[in-house]
Chains A and B, each alone.
Chain A
Amino acid sequence: MNIITPSTASAAGAPAWRAWIPLAALALFILAVLPLCLDLFRLNLVGKYLTYAFVAIGLVLCWGYGGILSLGQGVFFGLGGYAMAMFLKLEASDPESTKIQSTPGIPDFMDWNQITALPALWEPFHSLAFTLLAIVLVPGLMAFVIGVAMFKRRVGGVYFAIMTQAFAAMLSILIIGQQGYTGGVNGITDLKTLNGWDIRTDHAKYVLYFLNAGLLLASVALGQVLLKTKFGKLLLALRDKEERVRFSGYDVAAFKVFIFTLAAVLSAVGGAMFTLQVGFMSPSFVGIVPSIEMVIFTAVGGRLSLVGAVYGSLAVNFGKSYFSESFPQLWLFLMGGLFIAVVMLFPNGLAGLADSVRGAWQKWQARKAGQMTARGAPRTPAPPEDEPAAPTALRVKGGAA
């Protein structure tokens, strides 16, 4: 199977600014078209979906380009979201508004769980500066440690996917089990103000939407710049020929750790923005199911397209909210079918589809002009073929060989 990257395919001859057109179109769409066409309720919904897009673009970088499939991105989304929520919750739990509690001044769920003093873990989240740092550093550090442990020992492919999945399972069980410290299955709710600024007003919702959209667009731009550098080329190179990269003098693990950590940090920013816009955080965004769903946003948008991942997140989530409201029975069938179809029939997702349409259009144009250009159609990028897993046999140790 041919493996072509969009960047290489379009690089030939096209001026550099052409690569930025899709991003500009996306900016126009989410900064102008959507805010003008949707009411605030719908726009807030878009804002929520756009926070998932942070995870999706992280996955484009680390899965689409780096070949590292993490099934635990919800962990990082959740850590970012919880860090933000802890700060907001503390602010909402001032002694005045919690005076009916048996211990005023601590979050309500702690009081319900007979906790009488703020746990030490919560203490630093009184500070906004600490919280903002924690949003980025805690998930980043965690991803760094996981990455170093796994990639230095050459764990990859399905093993890595399973391990990250186990992480997601573990963290969600932990959060649900430790009700007194985390709010349990309900999560952290009733968030009100950010440094005195009420996040629930219409005005605040608009401000947060644009802040979120701006951060997202900046992240996509950052990703695009990154992919243009030698680092981007190496990422693809090590996805397809890891050994060759290693024996060209690169510390492959360091590259993987970097991209995995970056994806984690992006997810965490998305999580924090989720908390701000939606007003709560709960373990239902941390576990296995949400983590895999986030992968499908990326797959639907096109695993090799940063811009596509944003559209993918919007499309899948609007589909989800429409179908799960109108035809709840049908939704899981559709979601399941989507997973299968996107993997088996459209491995390049919406972006791949767009490329094929553009290719067909150009061919048609060329035919109309009476000249068949050999290189008219942009080559559609193909999904990576993972290194086939090392053949392993079920055998008894020391048994008949």
Chain B
Amino acid sequence: MDGMSFSEFGSVLIMQGFNGLSYFSVLLLMALGLAIIFGQMGVINMAHGEFLTIGAYTTYLLSVLSSTYAPWFESYYFIAAIIVGFGVAFVIGYLVEWLMIRHLYKRPLDSLLATWGLSLIMQQTFRSTFGPKEVSATLPAWLMGSYSPKEGLDIPLNGLFVMALTLALTSAVAAIMFYSRWGLRVRATTQNRAMAGAVGIDTAKIDRLTFALGCGIAGVAGAAFTTIGSTGPTSGSLYIVDTFLVVVFGGAQSLLGTIASAFSIAQTNSTLEFFMTGSIAKVITLATIIGILLLRPEGLFRLRVRK
């Protein structure tokens, strides 16, 4: 680090931290959907990463379509892609719950295996449809370039946008969960399924919508993902282990915990990446989380309740 002034070093740190924030955004968007599903139904959806991929390919398709058929739409397609990505992932999630997940609620470990099978099928479908090579959506002009408040400090706009999107979506989820009628029903079902059913809540429908919502959020994560990386058939599955760890580490039942854990995992990883090779950074991050979870299996946040 010879010849690097303190202020330059600071700028590098900030940019590295910002890289971490982009990673944090995708991780959080993935984890949000997973945490809702896991919290609500105790189901681990191993195909959750593929719902991210769905969102990413949807964005890619819209990008190709708009540049081929509607060049005037090119600067706005991305907004549409977020909505369509959500919609497609939501509908597929809805169908998956109906066809598969609902039959396995009493066997969470089996639902884990079945959704793993689903993820293989989805990956191969992507590969057969879009080819094994990675594809990239063309970013609209307003997402390119960077914001540089001072010399040597460049903060990419796409990263800023992804963060804003994450913030908005997380707030929306929190609002839905804690201030809407529907959120109340979801929480009621989570806490006492039998009672919720007895007071007239259609718990099966709540489950299906919750699952679909979780998948839809992963779809949005996919749209966000295209701005920071290219999409391949297995893009989503690369994130799945990290996402599980985020959910478990966060305590699996607390929104704040999920955010805090996504943040700490992403920042640890990207900070370490600055000092050593990527693979060792990853190993140390994983080892640290595993170590902490071995000592404190309930994660960062936990409620003490009567079993």
CB pair B248–A159 under 8 Å, yes or no, is yes
**CB closest chain-B residue, reference A389:** B42
Residues of A with C-beta under 8 A to B297: 150, 153-155, 159
Cβ contacts under 8 Å, A340 to chain B: 100, 114, 117-118, 121
Q: From residue B94, how far is it (CB to closest CB) to chain A in Å?
A: 17
> Interface SS of chain B: helix, strand, loop or mixed?
helix
Q: Does residue B287 face the partner (Cβ distance < 8 Å to A)?
A: yes
Chain B residues with Cβ below 8 Å from A69 are 109, 112
Are B113 and A166 touching (Cβ within 8 A)?
no
Question: Number of residues in A with C-beta < 8 Å to the partner?
Answer: 58
Question: Is B113 a contact partner of A169 (Cβ separation < 8 A)?
Answer: no
Cβ contact within 8 Å between B107 and A383: yes
B225 smallest CB distance to A (angstroms): 20
B182 to chain A, nearest CB (A): 13
Contact bitstring B108-123, A, C-beta under 8 A = 1, else 0:
1111111011111111
Partner of B279, one of A167, A174, A299: A174
Within the complex, what minimum Cβ distance (angstroms) separates B258 from chain A? Answer: 8
Contact between A397 and B123 (Cβ–Cβ < 8 Å)? no
Shortest Cβ distance from residue B268 to the other chain A in the assembled complex, whole angstroms: 14
CA–CA, A159 to B110, complex, Å? 14
Asked whether A336 lies within 8 Å of B124 as measured between CB atoms, the reply is: yes
Q: Is the interface of A mostly helix, strand, loop or mixed?
A: helix
Q: Is residue B178 contacting chain A, with contact meaning CB distance below 8 A? A: yes
Residue of A nearest to B188 (CB): A393
User: A169 and B241 in contact (CB under 8 A), knowing A391-B192, A399-B178?
Assistant: yes
- Which residues of B sit under 8 angstroms from A170, Cβ to Cβ? 282-283, 286-287, 290
Do the beta carbons of A394 and B121 come within 8 Å of each other? no
CA distance A177 to B40 in the complex (A): 38
Stretch from B60-68, B148-156, B249-257 contacting the other chain:
B249-257
A390: chain B residues within 8 A (beta carbon): 42, 307
Docked Cα-Cα span, A296 to B110, in Å, equals 11
Contact B100 A344 (CB under 8 A): yes
Which chain A residues numbered 280 to 300 have a C-beta less than 8 Å away from chain B? 288, 292, 295-296, 299
**Cα of A174 to Cα of B277 in the assembled complex, Å:** 11
- B187 adjacent to chain A (CB < 8 Å): yes
Q: Do B110 and A335 touch (CB < 8 A)?
A: no
Cross-chain contact A386 with B174 (CB below 8 angstroms): no
In the complex, A176→B282 CA distance in Å? Answer: 12
Interface membership of chain B positions 219-260, coded 1 if the CB is closer than 8 angstroms to chain A and 0 otherwise: 000000000000000000000010011001000111111100
Given known contacts A161-B44, A332-B121, A336-B118, A167 and B290 CB-to-CB distance under 8 angstroms: yes
A158 B290 Cβ-Cβ under 8 A: no
Which residue from chain A places its CB closest to the CB of B290 in the assembled complex? A166
Q: How far is the CA of A166 from the CA of B291 in the complex (A)?
A: 11
Among B3-11, B12-20, B31-39, B135-143, which stretch is in contact with chain A? B31-39
Q: Which residue of A lies closest to B177 (CB)?
A: A394
A400 within 8 A of B: yes
Within 8 A of A (CB), among B249-296: 252-258, 277, 279-280, 282-283, 286-287, 289-290, 293-295
Q: Are B279 and A177 in contact (CB under 8 A)?
A: yes
Chain A residues with Cβ below 8 Å from B193 are 391
Q: Which of B39, B110, B282 contacts A347 (CB 8 A)?
A: B110
> In whole angstroms, what is the CA distance A332 to B38 when docked?
26
Decide if B130 is an interface residue (CB 8 Å cutoff): no
Tell whether, in the assembled complex, residue A397 and residue B286 are in contact, meaning their CB atoms are under 8 Å apart: no
Q: Determine the residue in chain A with the shortest Cβ distance to B183.
A: A394
Contacting residues, chain B, for A336 (C-beta < 8 A): 117-122, 124
- Chain A residues within 8 Å of B290, by CB: 163, 166-167, 170
Contact with B along A327-363 (1 / 0, CB 8 A): 0010011011111100110010000000000000000
CA distance A71 to B123 in the complex (A): 20
B301 within 8 Å of A (CB atoms)? yes
Q: Residue B35 contacts which of A154, A343, A394 (CB distance < 8 angstroms)?
A: A394
Q: Kindly provide the distance from the CB of A1 to the nearest chain B CB, expressed in whole angstroms.
A: 8
B195 CB to nearest A CB, Å: 11
Q: A173-B279, A340-B100 are in contact. Are A393 and B244 (CB under 8 A)?
A: no
Minimum C-beta distance from A65 to chain B (A) = 13
Tell me whether A400 and B178 are in contact in the complex, defined as CB-CB below 8 angstroms, given that A394-B255, A395-B255 are known contacts.
yes
Residue of A nearest to B247 (CB): A162
Candidates B108, B127, B295; contact of A386 at CB < 8 Å: B108
* 6 pairs of A and B residues whose beta carbons are closest in the complex: A339-B117, A389-B42, A177-B279, A336-B120, A336-B121, A332-B124
What are 5 residue pairs bridging A and B, where the CB atoms are less than 8 Å apart in the complex? Answer: A69-B109, A163-B290, A174-B283, A394-B40, A394-B187
